[in-house]
């Protein structure tokens, strides 16, 4: 099996390759911060030299990688081809991607938050997660809420501006700490998530302040559970995000987190702040889901191979 992507950051492909015992090929080597943690991966920086990839089965992650190797796919040079939709470029080019996938009998997987961009049958998938447990800390003695706006913070793609306003309003009523994880290292993000009690992933669903042109503008993106929220789940942190509960059955259960919308976010977050019992029950459910899905190497082997 081969795993092929444009950047190592897409779907954390070094971890996926390690789970599949696969060779890893990456087009752009500019953002390979995940390679150091995935110590057992057979990483090969191939640049644009896709001819180096052998004729075995291949899992392609992201639109960029799909376009780079499309000629070999059309020539039926691989025993099996999987494609995982996980990036904005897929959303902006969803019509072509869906058509190409169908015409070439590609096995189609997609992050559940991208369902609206999938015009043909697909299987839901969340990324495989490996975290450095040496970076984790005990929970803060005071209730701590965190949010990571991502590298494109100023664009408000995750609804971070609205999240801050609502959290600050709640801080006027309740005594808790809030940390915005922006402009810090990946290690620092993991440390702070591990110390926090509640992690806010996104506030996109029904939020009219989001610039939809980033996603292509043709289909409205509703948000969901992304990489940052998955990491928080694996760190025993209660996760809340906006979006519609994904239909992931019969493949696996939907993530047992708090699903919200722009209209209900204040009340939903307030409930998590006030109700420690609810937080603890959710974390127990999250832990079981994490063990069965996103940290389960055997699950990914069977699911993709």
> What is the SS3 string spanning 102-158?
HHCCCEEEECHHHHHHCCCCCEECCCCCCCCHHHCCCCCCCCEEEECCCCCHHHCCC
Question: CA-to-CA distance for 172 and 239, rounded, in angstroms?
Answer: 22
Confidence check: pLDDT of 142 > 70: yes
Domains of the chain by start residue, with CATH:
2-125 (3.40.50), 133-292 (3.40.50.2000)
pLDDT tens-digit map of 157-196: 999 999 999 999 999 999 999 999 988 888 899 999 999 9
pLDDT at 215: 86
Q: Which helix (H) or strand (E) holds 278?
A: helix 276-292
Confidence check: pLDDT of 39 > 60: no
Q: pLDDT band for position 28 (50/70/90)?
A: confident
């Amino acid at each position: 099996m081969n795993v092929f992507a444009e950047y190592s950051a897409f779907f954390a492909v070094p971890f996926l390759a390690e789970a599949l015992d696969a060779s890893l090929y990456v087009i752009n080597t500019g953002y390979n911060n995940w390679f150091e943690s995935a110590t057992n991966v057979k990483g090969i920086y191939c640049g644009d030299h896709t001819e180096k990839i052998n004729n075995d089965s291949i899992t392609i992650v992201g639109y960029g990688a799909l376009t780079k190797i499309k000629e070999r796919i059309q020539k039926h040079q691989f025993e099996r081809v999987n494609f995982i939709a996980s990036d904005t470029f897929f959303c902006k080019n969803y019509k072509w991607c869906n058509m190409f996938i169908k015409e070439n009998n590609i096995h189609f997987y997609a992050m559940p938050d991208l369902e609206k961009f999938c015009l043909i049958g697909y299987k839901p998938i969340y990324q495989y997660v490996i975290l450095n447990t040496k970076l984790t800390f005990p929970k803060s003695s005071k209730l701590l809420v965190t949010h990571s706006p991502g590298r494109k913070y100023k664009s408000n793609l995750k609804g971070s501006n609205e999240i801050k306003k609502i959290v600050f309003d709640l801080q006027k009523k309740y005594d808790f700490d809030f940390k915005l994880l922006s402009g810090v290292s990946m290690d620092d993000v993991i440390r702070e998530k591990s110390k926090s009690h509640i992690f806010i992933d996104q506030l996109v669903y029904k939020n009219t302040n989001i610039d939809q042109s980033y996603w292509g503008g043709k289909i409205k993106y509703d948000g969901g559970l992304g990489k940052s929220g998955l990491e928080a789940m694996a760190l025993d942190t209660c996760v809340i995000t906006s979006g519609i509960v994904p239909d992931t059955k019969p493949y696996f259960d939907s993530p047992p987190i708090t699903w919200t919308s722009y209209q209900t976010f204040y009340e939903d977050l307030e409930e998590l702040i006030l109700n420690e019992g609810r937080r603890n029950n959710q974390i127990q459910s999250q832990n079981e889901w994490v063990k069965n899905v996103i940290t389960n190497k055997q699950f990914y082997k069977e699911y993709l191979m």
